[in-house]
């Protein structure tokens, strides 16, 4: 879009994209933690309180990703509107 406009986009656009990418990495890390916790639970018997914390951390990371994705969609729509010819 920057090439179409021949000028840089607003700084908030790249910030929103960076936050979404960061949120994606956090969700991936929490999911890996959950998988590791689930595999250790199968070996060691009944679930523990720690497993609950892992799932809640994953849920919080997914919520943050949802909010970041919603913001990115809005920001990119605004950028597209600024890029289109009038």
Confidence at residue 11, expressed as pLDDT on a 0 to 100 scale: 87
Distance between CA 62 and CA 56 in Å, rounded? 10
Tell me which residue has tokens 């936050």.
19
pLDDT of residue 68: 97
Which pLDDT score, from 0 to 100, does residue 46 have? 60
How does pLDDT run across 18-73, given as a tens digit for each residue? 999 999 999 999 999 988 888 776 666 565 556 788 999 999 999 999 999 999 99
């Amino acid at each position: 879009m920057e090439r179409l406009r021949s000028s840089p986009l607003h700084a908030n656009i790249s910030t929103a994209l960076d936050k979404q990418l960061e949120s994606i990495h956090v969700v991936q890390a929490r999911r890996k933690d959950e998988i590791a916790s689930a595999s250790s639970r199968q070996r060691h018997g009944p679930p523990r309180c720690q497993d609950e914390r892992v799932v809640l951390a994953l849920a919080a990371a997914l919520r943050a990703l949802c909010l970041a994705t919603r913001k990115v969609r809005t920001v990119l729509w605004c950028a597209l509107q600024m890029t289109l010819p009038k």
